[in-house]
Amino acid sequence: MVHEHKQEVKKAQAIVTFSETTSFTGVLRFKETLKIQGKFTGTIDAKAGELIVDKGAVVKADSINVTSITIYGTVHAPIRAEDKIDLYTGAQVHGDLVAGRLRIADGVVFEGKCSMIDADKEVEIFSRPTAEIKAEFRRLNE
């Protein structure tokens, strides 16, 4: 009997990069990952995308709406990230932030307000039967 082993191969995620010499003005929409190393001015609307603003990059936007954003460079824009915003050392961010999670490293310049998205809004903590909760507490105390 021959056994076949199925091996799942994860496709490497493609990252589109605007290099240091790229200067773009307009509206950006994307679904995967975009890395900006140059200059961008306009609007970024990528609710299903991840944005990386690299060191030395300058982004000036009316708004940025993404799943997640990682910033090493300079951003002048209000940012909404459904998942997370990561600001790393050297980043300069001027604008209000709305995110599910926020991480700010030492050495970041940030001017604006932060609001957190309540990701657990739909979770009902009292939906478990009382007997199940009591049984779990008994196991923990044994």
The string over 65-75, giving b where at least 16 C-beta atoms fall within 10 Å of a residue's C-beta and e elsewhere, is bbbbbbbbbbb
Tokens of 19: 């290099």
CA 22 to chain centre: 23
Which residues make Cβ contacts (< 8 Å) with residue 56, sequence separation at least 6?
20, 37, 73
Q: What is the pLDDT of residue 6?
A: 44
Amino acid 131: pLDDT: 72
Show the tokens assigned to 78: 């209000």
Output the tens digit of pLDDT for each of the chain's 142 residues: 444 444 444 444 678 888 898 888 999 998 889 999 999 999 999 988 999 999 999 999 999 999 999 999 999 999 999 999 999 999 999 999 999 999 999 999 999 999 998 755 544 555 556 677 677 767 766 6
**For the residues of 87-131, what is the DSSP string, one character each?**
E-TT-EEES-EEEEEEEE-TT-EEES-EEE--TTTT--TT-S-HH
How far CA 67 is from CA of 30, 41, 53, 119, in Å, comes to 11, 20, 14, 13
| pTM assigned to the model | 0.74
Taking only the tens place, the pLDDT of each residue in 61-81 is: 999 999 999 999 999 999 999
Query: Kind of pairing, strands 114-116 and 23-28?
Result: unpaired
Instruction: Say what the pLDDT of residue 106 is.
Output: 94
pLDDT at 120: 54
pLDDT at 137: 67
Residue type, 89: T
pLDDT at 126: 56
